Amino acid sequence: MGATIKYDEVEQGQELPPAEYRVQRVNLVMYAGASGDFNPIHWNERFATSVGLPDVIAHGMYTMAQGGRYVTDWAGDPGAVVDYGVRFSSMVVVPDDDTGATITVSGLIEEKLPDKRVIVVLTAKSGDARVLSKARAVVQLA
């Protein structure tokens, strides 16, 4: 991953290799600062558990961003992503330890379009839970 992908280098049905993204509490605090989303469920374990959550959870948009990062890393060009959407299907629980959580993202070329675009369907999991569903990106390739 990383080099600019060319349209004739991919095939419909092609699986893209998985990538793992670690998430620790410090990442959530940095994301809160960048996004302005300081909801305590994303950084305060006492508050998160008081509202029925198992622990602190990652921001949904942070989780979505890891899928976007995966696609841009694969394509080799952030500007190649012309459309991207997901539905949130589960939480990324981030324990307060040295490990945190891991989001594993993989992809599949669902369709090659005639204008050098491809539709990439993503699978994103944390542990055994699928955290994004209906995740797909339209990517303009060289």
pLDDT tens track, the chain, 142 positions: 556 899 999 999 999 999 999 999 999 999 999 999 999 999 999 999 999 999 999 999 999 999 999 999 999 999 999 999 999 999 999 999 999 999 999 999 999 999 999 999 999 999 999 999 999 999 999 9
Full residue range of the structural domain in which residue 35 is found: 7-140
pLDDT at residue 82, as a whole number: 97
Number of domains in the chain: 1
Residue 2 lies in a domain: no
Return the residue matching tokens 């993503």. 122
Residue 52 lies in a domain: yes
pLDDT at residue 100, as a whole number: 97
Query: In sequence order, which residues have a C-beta less than 8 Å from that of residue 22 and are 6 or more positions away?
Result: 99, 100, 101, 102
pTM: 0.94
Residue 80 lies in a domain: yes
pLDDT at residue 4, as a whole number: 87
Residue 106 lies in a domain: yes
The CATH number of whichever domain residue 85 belongs to comes to: 3.10.129.10
Cα separation of 138 and 119, whole Å?
A: 5
Burial label, 119 (beta-carbon count in 10 A; 0-12, 13-18, 19+) = middle
pLDDT at residue 125, as a whole number: 98
Residue 1 lies in a domain: no
